[in-house]
Structure 1
């Protein structure tokens, strides 16, 4: 997945020091997955002796993209919607989100029959959808945990 940096926001404390940074991230996989995220980077995410002021926009973005695959398996699925053609379900879109520890992630996944090898798309349920999305994410982020 090609990830783009959409924003960098600095949070400044009462003493004028940067207390955290929020990096905006967007990525898409061939119309199958779209991820939009605001990942918060905390001082504990930095190398010892490093401050936010020492880091470039590219370095901050790199830190945020390392945190994204760790957060993705924690997504909750708010709903999924079938798309029907000639009275037959042909695909579905699953909507997932996460608000955890200052990070906000939205993942929209478009799935079709090829994502469900052991059952017809019209009979898939919540666990089937989670499993299919997990499979795609493990392909896009192979080093990440794929715990559902």
Structure 2
């Protein structure tokens, strides 16, 4: 999945120093996954001698994308919706999100019968959807 940087936002403390940076991320994979995220980078995420002011937009984005896979297992699945054609379920879209520690992620996943080897798509449940999304995420983000 190609990830794009959509924004960089600096938080400045009272002394004029950058205290954190939020990087906006967006990515899409063949109509199967769409991810939008705001990942907060803290001083602890930087190399020992580095400061936020030393880093380029490209370097900050790289730090944010490095953090993203570790956050994906904590997604909360808020909803899933079946799409039916001729009274038969043909695909399901799962809506997931995460909001913690200054990180905000929204993931929409579109699944079809090929994602459910052992069951018909019409008989899947919540845990089946979560497992299928996890499989796709592990392919797109091998460390997640």
TM-score by length of 1: 0.96
**Does 1:37 find its partner at 2:73?**
no
1:95 Cα deviation after fit: 0.1
Unaligned stretches of 5+ in structure 2?
none
Q: How does 1:71-110 map to 2 (within 5 A)?
A: 71-110=71-110
CA distance in 1, matches of 2:69, 2:21: 18
Unaligned stretches of 5+ in structure 1?
none
1:49 Cα deviation after fit: 1.1
**Does 1:125 find its partner at 2:138?**
no
Match of 2:62 in 1: 62
What per-residue deviation string (whole Å, max 9, x for no partner) do you get for residues 3-38 of structure 1?
Answer: 000000000011110000000000000000000000
CA distance in 2, matches of 1:125, 1:92: 11
TM-score by length of 2: 0.99
Q: Report the aligned-residue RMSD.
A: 0.5
Match of 1:5 in 2: 5
1:100 Cα deviation after fit: 1.2
CA distance in 2, matches of 1:73, 1:30: 21
